[in-house]
Structure 1
Amino acid sequence: MTTVVPTSEEDPALAVVRFTADLSWADAGPEVAEGQLNRLYVEAQECMLQNRWVDLASLMLTSADVVFSKASEKDLECVYTVICDLVKKPESLDQVHEMAELITTKVVQQPNDKPALRLKILFNLYNLLENPYSQFFVYIKALNLAVSGKVTEHVVPSFKKMDNFLREWNIGVKDQRDLFLIVANILKDNKSSAKDSFNFLVKYLETFSGEDSLTVNEAKEEAVRAVIEFVKAPDTFQGDLLELPAIALLEKDAKYAPVYKLLKIFLTERLDAYLEFHSSNSTLLTSYGLVHEDCVAKMRLISLVDLGTIESGQIPYSLIKETLQIEENEVESWIVKAITAKLIDCRIDQMNQVVIVSRCIERVFGLNEWQALRSKLATWRGNVANVISTIQANKIAEDGTQAVQGLTIR
């Protein structure tokens, strides 16, 4: 026997059941429509009385496809706001996640139909959830929906909060891997986001550290893509890509070994090495969309940085001309380009035809660079300790002199 609880105002969930039932059975005639409405209404009441919230959500979602095709966007948003609000009802996190899955699955079924609205519904659902893993699940589904529905511009702003998201979600390596790759793929088609795309791709590759070679091999294509994106990027000159297992694996791969060699040239060698590589691999470079002139320009800047690192702070114009393979009247313009790109800090001594370098970037920062930094810090620490000792000694001497003068006056 069913007990109907009378209320002065219809419960929002029951109102949604009535609304969706009316839309679903409107074409079947009044008698059929009324019968179906009564059946669904009574079933919904039973679910509410018995706290069967998952069943209620499933019941309300049954007519969701019809709602999307017949209702206005305003009504749709209201309907799904009520449905999503049901996730606050169960005490069990498992039930909450099950409801989140039900709602999300229904919303993403037809991503090309009102995709922006569907995305808004998912973000509303996300904000109602308290379980971090359920939030992550909905967020991933929202990203996939944005890609399929071609509305990625609505999700890109959220990428700026990724560090906060990761702390809140506390997800495992596999989930991080999936997330970083999706984000990198979303950003890669936007030229203004190329650097962010590359950074997320590197984050993706970093998740393979410590994995077995079979697992690392799964990232081979993305590793190649990271190398090519690094070489193409006109404003990216440093990175620890060579230390990533997924990229290191390319060195022994028959097909991709030249790609690894190219990366090594851009991170550790000079222009002459690139030109030699190009002479026997020009077709390969073209196949990856690399422009020889752009690569030469980047390698000239990189070679100039390398000279600043090795030549004890002073670089003769003649050496720059020879290394960069340029005319003498081009030397200063390339120095200015390196300064503008914040690759080096230097002073140009035109009279003596030398460049005096005070700072230049490290192209890679591996074990040797950490050891050099440690040595410098130890030296600075010693110098600071000596200065402190000198100051303290002078203070003691000064205090002693003042004490003697005080005794003399008395």
Structure 2
Amino acid sequence: MNALLALYGIVAAQPAAQRSVLLAAAGYAAKCGGKCRTAFCAAVRGKASRWVAEWKLAPSDARQLYLTLAAATRGAADRPTNREHLSLAGSALSLAVPGSAPSAPELAEAAAGALAEYLRSSSIYTLDLLPLPAVAALAGNAKYGPLYKLVAAVLAGDVAGTRAASTPAALEAAGSGVTAEAVLSKARMTALLAACSAAGHGEVALAELQKALDVTDTAAVQSWVVKAIGAKLVEGRVDSVRGVLSVARSTHPSFGGPQWKKLGAQIAALKDTVGAAVAAMSAVKPPPHVSSRGVAAAVAAR
């Protein structure tokens, strides 16, 4: 791997050669795993979009690059690489390539890999890929349909739906490291995040959270809140006397059209508030300026 990365630097003046070396290194990292993959991921993290722009890649070539890098970063144990994998997969799946159907086998594999990565990660609770055509096409896929149904239930924070969707077929499609217990835990945390996100800077009743999380009592709810705060997914405070959670900030399980619309409304309201403040300040006339000479003249007149 070190030799391939060194060769990549040597051919810096030849974009086509650089791309070939990079793809070879990615394939080697995906095959060998371990330290080779760790070194490769550290070297390429966050650079894919820049390469696509610098090398002026056509959509089909850009998709190939994204898919190859995504395959190399899949299944890593660290959160930054997990996020990189989901970002690369999203970039590949969102590209419009002429003549390519959303249900193409290579796209189905990439989409399923991204969904499995989301389920496998114990620290990632946001996923924006489900609306993409290539991901939505998995719903009708014989092999990956159960996996899609399971991820949709988890992302919705539907604990009962997750329990029902955690079938052997879905867990098998997700691959190693994904268990029914872990998936149910992820669904409960997502249910908490969904309720807190909906509350904004408001309050959520603990009884409401108890129902959403499908737990025995509000003490169990408080345990989940502590976990969320410890993981920096939520900022807030529990008022046990009033039985509410006061939310200051919350991670969104997904950030799609409704969230962008809400953010746009908040920004528009902020602009109006700032504009009104500026107008009010402009209307205030400062007191007339009194110079030091004027003060001296006033004193002399006394």
State the distance in 2 between where 1:310 and 1:161 align. Answer: 31
TM-score of the two chains, using structure 1 as the length reference? 0.61
Structure 2 residue 25 is the aligned partner of structure 1 residue 136 = no
TM superposition shift of 1:385: 0.6
Structure 1 residues 215 and 359, CA gap change in structure 2 (3 angstroms): closer
Map 1:26-37; keep pairs closer than 5 Å. none
Structure 2 counterpart of 1:217, from 104, 113, 117: 104
Structure 1 residues 120 and 186, CA gap change in structure 2 (3 angstroms): closer
TM superposition shift of 1:383: 0.4
Once the two structures are superposed, residues 349-398 of structure 1 have per-residue CA deviations (whole angstroms, 9 ceiling, x without a partner) of: 1221211112222222222222211111111100001111111112x2x3
Once the two structures are superposed, residues 251-301 of structure 1 have per-residue CA deviations (whole angstroms, 9 ceiling, x without a partner) of: 2334433322222222234212222333xxx21233234311111111111
Matching residue's letter, 1:141? A
Partner of 1:181: 67
Matching residue's letter, 2:54? E
Partner of 1:83: none
Structure 1 residues 244 and 231, CA gap change in structure 2 (3 angstroms): same
Partner of 1:34: none
State the distance in 2 between where 1:121 and 1:334 align. Answer: 47
TM superposition shift of 1:216: 4.6
Partner of 1:368: 258
SS of the equivalent of 1:306 reads helix
SS of the equivalent of 2:195 reads helix
State the distance in 2 between where 1:161 and 1:375 align. Answer: 31
8 Å CA contact retained: 1:238, 1:363: yes
Map 1:274-289; keep pairs closer than 5 Å. 274-278=162-166, 282-287=167-172, 288-289=174-175
Once the two structures are superposed, residues 167-190 of structure 1 have per-residue CA deviations (whole angstroms, 9 ceiling, x without a partner) of: 432222222222222222223354
Structure 2 counterpart of 1:321, from 203, 207, 210: 210
TM superposition shift of 1:156: 3.5
State the distance in 2 between where 1:213 and 1:124 align. Answer: 33
TM superposition shift of 1:336: 1.2
State the distance in 2 between where 1:255 and 1:154 align. Answer: 33
Structure 2 residue 223 is the aligned partner of structure 1 residue 337 = no
8 Å CA contact retained: 2:159, 2:212: yes
State the distance in 1 between where 2:123 and 2:143 align. Answer: 28
| Root-mean-square deviation over aligned CA pairs | 3.1
State the distance in 2 between where 1:257 and 1:368 align. Answer: 26
Matching residue's letter, 1:337? K
Structure 1 residues 320 and 148, CA gap change in structure 2 (3 angstroms): closer
SS of the equivalent of 2:47 reads helix
8 Å CA contact retained: 2:156, 2:190: no
TM superposition shift of 1:159: 0.6
State the distance in 1 between where 2:288 and 2:160 align. Answer: 66
SS of the equivalent of 2:253 reads coil
State the distance in 1 between where 2:165 and 2:234 align. Answer: 26
State the distance in 1 between where 2:233 and 2:30 align. Answer: 37
Structure 2 residue 146 is the aligned partner of structure 1 residue 258 = yes
State the distance in 1 between where 2:153 and 2:233 align. Answer: 18
TM superposition shift of 1:125: 4.0
Once the two structures are superposed, residues 105-158 of structure 1 have per-residue CA deviations (whole angstroms, 9 ceiling, x without a partner) of: xxxxxxxxxx765x367336424xx23223223332344456667755553332
Unaligned runs of 5+ residues in structure 2 are none
TM superposition shift of 1:316: 1.7
Matching residue's letter, 2:137? L
SS of the equivalent of 1:214 reads coil
SS of the equivalent of 1:399 reads coil
State the distance in 2 between where 1:199 and 1:249 align. Answer: 19
Aligned length: 285
TM superposition shift of 1:342: 2.4
Matching residue's letter, 1:183? L
SS of the equivalent of 1:176 reads helix
State the distance in 1 between where 2:243 and 2:228 align. Answer: 17
8 Å CA contact retained: 1:285, 1:291: no
Q: Which has the larger radius of gyration?
A: 1
Partner of 2:120: 232
Once the two structures are superposed, residues 7-65 of structure 1 have per-residue CA deviations (whole angstroms, 9 ceiling, x without a partner) of: xxxxxxxxxxxxxxxxxxxxxxxxxxxxxxxxxxxxxxxxxxxxxxxxxxxxxxxxxxx
8 Å CA contact retained: 2:203, 2:245: yes
Q: Which has the higher helix share?
A: 1
Structure 2 residue 187 is the aligned partner of structure 1 residue 304 = no
8 Å CA contact retained: 2:196, 2:250: yes
TM superposition shift of 1:343: 2.2
Matching residue's letter, 1:182? T
State the distance in 2 between where 1:350 and 1:149 align. Answer: 52
Unaligned runs of 5+ residues in structure 1 are 1-114
